[in-house]
């Protein structure tokens, strides 16, 4: 099993995870091998990258972390709990402890910032206006609580999405290409906010991205994927990840052929 060198008890463990999908029009259910015997740990408290080009299996892996998808074989263990035997109600309870941030922000257009941030609390039949305000302040948007998403820039919308993901104080934050729709400057701001999130709340962060720069900016380590296979775990040190750079150069050269 490939393990990261970052110290700590794993927040998530993948054990020999394989995921097959039926290809459109195929007679058998195993035509697409999205993940192939993947084993690694995401250490508690880490900012951990899941890095790879399109089709590498990153989103499939992320969906498994909150039980939205399941392995064809192998196990996904979140905070010591194997997700496979969990009933629907238990999976929903697990998801309440996991925040998710998406590339396209996914805010509700007809709700203002305050209501968007409060949404996960509402889904749990909870009210906590003070917490909502505190999260808006944490992401620097306390003065925009009455605005609607259409009145905000892309970076501001992603800040709201991060506040919304954090409002229930999750132990784990899953980020699916959170900066891919943003310019370079705004990307740096959002990455800094994710780093501040770990510093302030001790949140474990899984960052799915095809951007090596994002990994170098904030991750402690990253799992590098190619066509469903885990190639290696790379450590990031002082903003550099030479092995990942070499590896991605190789993949891009292959893809360009």
Ligand X SMILES: Nc1ncnc2c1ncn2[C@@H]1O[C@H](COP(=O)(O)OP(=O)(O)OP(=O)(O)O)[C@@H](O)[C@H]1O
222 binds ligand X (CB under 6 A): no
Tokens of 121: 């609390």
User: In angstroms, what is the minimal distance from the CB of 57 to ligand X?
Assistant: 4
User: In angstroms, what is the minimal distance from the CB of 38 to ligand X?
Assistant: 11
Contact yes or no for 107/156 (Cβ under 8 A)? no
Give the total of residues touching ligand X (CB under 6 A): 12
181 binds ligand X (CB under 6 A): no
Q: Mark 2-31 with x for binding to ligand X (rule: CB under 6 A) and - for no binding.
A: -------------------x----------
User: In angstroms, what is the minimal distance from the CB of 254 to ligand X?
Assistant: 16
The window from 56-64, 76-84, 235-243, 244-252 that contacts ligand X (CB under 6 A) reads 56-64
| Smaller CB separation from ligand X, 57 or 178 | 57
User: In angstroms, what is the minimal distance from the CB of 49 to ligand X?
Assistant: 13
Contact yes or no for 100/106 (Cβ under 8 A)? no
- Residue-wise DSSP of the chain: ----SS-S-EEEEEEEEEEEEPPTT-SSS-SEEEEEEEEEEEETT-EEEEEESTTSSHHHHHHHHTTSS--SEEEEEETTEESTT--HHHHHHHHTTEEEE-TT----TTS-HHHHHHHHHHHTT---HHHHHHHHHHTT-GGGTT--GGGS-HHHHHHHHHHHHHTT--SEEEEESTTTTS-HHHHHHHHHHHHHHHHHH--EEEEEES-HHHHHHH-SEEEEEETTEEEEEEE-BTTB-HHHHHHHHHHHHHHH-
Handedness of CA 60, 64, 68, 74 (dihedral sign): positive
Q: Mark 35-54 with x for binding to ligand X (rule: CB under 6 A) and - for no binding.
A: -----------------x-x
| Smaller CB separation from ligand X, 30 or 249 | 30
32 binds ligand X (CB under 6 A): yes
* Among residues 18, 55, 72, 142, the one that binds ligand X under rule CB under 6 A: 55
User: In angstroms, what is the minimal distance from the CB of 180 to ligand X?
Assistant: 9
56 binds ligand X (CB under 6 A): yes
60 binds ligand X (CB under 6 A): yes
* Among residues 10, 45, 57, 178, the one that binds ligand X under rule CB under 6 A: 57
Could you list the residues that contact ligand X (CB under 6 A)? 21, 32, 34, 52, 54-60, 210
């Amino acid at each position: 099993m490939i393990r990261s060198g970052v110290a700590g008890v794993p927040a998530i463990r993948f054990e020999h995870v394989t995921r097959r999908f039926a290809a459109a029009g195929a007679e058998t259910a195993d035509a697409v091998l999205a993940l192939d015997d993947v084993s690694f740990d995401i250490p508690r408290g880490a900012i951990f990258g899941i890095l790879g080009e399109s089709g590498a299996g990153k989103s499939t892996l992320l969906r498994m972390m909150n039980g939205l998808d399941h392995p064809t074989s192998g196990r996904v263990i979140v905070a010591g709990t194997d997700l496979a035997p969990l009933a629907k109600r238990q999976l929903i309870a697990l998801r309440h402890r996991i925040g998710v941030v998406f590339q396209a922000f996914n805010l509700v257009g007809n709700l203002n910032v305050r209501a968007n941030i409060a949404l996960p609390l509402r889904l749990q039949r909870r009210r906590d206006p003070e917490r909502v305000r505190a999260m808006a302040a944490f992401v620097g948007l306390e003065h925009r609580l009455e605005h609607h998403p259409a009145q905000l820039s892309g970076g501001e919308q992603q800040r709201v999405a991060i506040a919304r993901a954090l409002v229930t104080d999750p132990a784990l934050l899953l980020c699916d290409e959170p900066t891919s729709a943003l310019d370079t400057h705004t990307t740096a701001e959002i990455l800094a906010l994710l780093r501040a999130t770990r510093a302030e709340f001790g949140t474990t962060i899984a960052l799915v991205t095809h951007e090596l720069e994002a990994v170098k900016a904030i991750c402690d380590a990253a799992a590098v994927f190619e066509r469903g296979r885990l190639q290696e775990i790379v450590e990031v040190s002082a903003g550099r990840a030479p092995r990942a750079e070499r590896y991605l150069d190789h993949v891009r050269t292959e893809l360009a052929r």
